[in-house]
Amino acid sequence: MKKALLLGFVALGLLYYLLPSNAKAESGRIYGTIRTIDGEDFEGWIRWDKNEAYWDDIIDATKERKSKRYKRKSRRRSSSSFFIWGSGSSRQSELKFGHIKTLLPVSSSEAVITLKSGEEYEMSGSDLGTSVRDIIVDDKEEGEIWLEWDDIDEINFSKEPSAPESTAERLYGKLTTRRGEEFVGWIEWDRDEVMTTDILDGDEGRRKNRKIKFGKIKSLERRSSSSCIVTLKSGKEMKLSGTNDVNSENRGIRVKDPALGRIDVEWNDFDIVEFMPVPRDKLPKYDSFDGGRKIMGTVFTEDGEKFEGEIIWDTDEEETWVHRNGGFHDLGVVIEFANIKLIERHSRRGAVITTRAGRNILLKGSNDVNSENNGIIVKLDDGDEVEIDWYDFEKAEFK
């Protein structure tokens, strides 16, 4: 019996290693089915607004209000169904794609987003509506399908059946700022290029329109406001200029540090990016996102009181998918609440955030972390609510 079990385990192990590598691990890429207003379904890996392609990528939007859906909205030409909205306020609310179950366009600038938790929100912003750049689905039967916002009736996101058969890898590396800060994570260049198959454009002296795949690049170093030094993996160096990929018209370099959050770096604050091999174990997994849950923890006051229960931050943000925003020196930082262990008031102008991975960062310049905060509400177990003003707040520890 023991011998048979041992042989069985050996056979399973051999089967694993004989399987194609793309069946062994998730790619981390956004996957789902897009239904068009003409009733066609396209299923595959989705690239959104050029720079969102992975589950931990963020929709930058405004949460208008929770929706009350009395009748399902459809934008098919044969339908006359409608939505009635609930009441609420408008707040900036970044949201990772991995939390989304469905996305339903309802106008040229708005969508109803249903989370995995079942909560629904009306949202708008630069990543939603007709301002969205290319929406591409790599359909499993037809290949790449390019769609516009007005083509879409509904999107249902789902777990990928297997990793894509592609040579494209996600860009990963270390970014160093001109002040010497270092951040390691997923790289997003010019808020456009996120994969090794994406192209860096620039002019090299008299040689115009030089196009280089990111997969061939070892590092990118700011030389001046108008040029960049490109070092290839082959060792060759060149100076590129003349396009917004390699000068101060660059829209910004983002680093998504799994241990911290998203860091936005402008060209004038950027020094160098050194690309590194992809740590496949750090690629986001579809099942790692739960659609959010209530924020729970303990809030401490300056007078030594403490209140434990459900926390509503800034009197409005109550789910773990919500992000905290702020400035660190001249950098923009966005941290998901699920990643935060501790917030400590530093002054009227800022707060120190400690992440669950042990990273500390002082954020300023946002009502999330300064005296413009509208207050921290704690819902106690006995049903009472306590509201704490920023000047009375000392710290909050999150479960």
Question: Is the Cβ–Cβ distance between 344 and 351 less than 8 Å?
Answer: yes
Q: How far apart are the first and last CA of the chain?
A: 46
Task: Give the H or E element holding residue 5.
Answer: helix 2-18
Q: What is the DSSP letter of 244?
A: T
pLDDT tens for each residue of 198-215: 999 999 988 888 999 999
The residue-averaged pLDDT of 80-104 equals: 71
Tokens of 158: 């789902």
Query: Which range among 24-38, 234-248, 346-360 shows the weakest confidence by mean pLDDT?
Result: 24-38
pTM: 0.87
Residue 76 has pLDDT above 70, yes or no: no
90 has a pLDDT exceeding 60: no
Calculate the average pLDDT of the chain. 88
In the chain, the percentage of residues whose pLDDT exceeds 70 is: 86
Q: Minimum mean pLDDT among 43-47, 94-98, 188-192, 205-209: which range?
A: 205-209
Q: Is the pLDDT of residue 22 over 80?
A: no
Q: Would the pLDDT of 20 be above 70? A: no
Distance of CA 68 to the CA centre of its chain: 26
Q: Across residues 41-60, what is the average pLDDT? A: 95
Report the 3 state secondary structure along 89-148. Answer: CCEECCEEHHHEEEEEECCCCEEEEEECCCCEEEEEECCECCCCCCEEEEECCCEEEEEC
